[in-house]
Amino acid sequence: MNLITFLILVLAALFLVIVLLIFYIVSLKRSVLLKQHEVEMTLKKANELINEAMASREEAMKEKEEINKKIEDARRESVSKSRDVVVGRVSEQLAPFFPGFKYNPKDVRFIGTPIDLIIFDGMDNGNITSIVFLEVKSGASKLTEREKAVMEAINSGRVSFDIYRINTTNSAIDEI
């Protein structure tokens, strides 16, 4: 083999090595680009998830605020209704002493339920002229079903007077 052939073979081998290195470098570059694309896609998905999570968090915070507002409103309403009930109950007992009450307060007896007051009109003078069942209401409050039933029984004349006598000689009280 002569020197020229040897040099051609060495050059061919070097060319082959250079081509293989170029293919290897191109392959590495392609692999790096694919990994880079995977990383970018993963980051994009992660950003989307973060954005969704932040949106969900904001929505949850708004819902929490709404719930807290509803709780606060319910508390206020409860206190207001409770106050109204207390004022109503006190008013029922004080009604005979309010201006414009048309009966003598000394003739009034408080019952509370199912009707607030019974008025024995004229009792203070010693001459009862009528008996009035009176329900005290404030504002726009309405009669309950039970109060309506009492009113209907009275207005239809289904009212009577009865006496219950306790046997004091051999009574259940003695047995206790």
Q: Are 135 and 119 in contact (CB under 8 A)?
A: no
Tokens standing for 41? 């896609």
Question: Can you give the pLDDT at residue 169?
Answer: 74
CA distance 5 to 13: 12
> For residue 109, what is the DSSP state?
E
- pLDDT < 70 stretches in the chain: 1, 170-176
pTM of the model: 0.56
Exposure letters 43-78 (e unless 16+ CB within 10 A, then b): eeeeeeeeeeeeeeeeeeeeeeeeeeeeeeeeeeee
Question: Can you give the pLDDT at residue 1?
Answer: 67
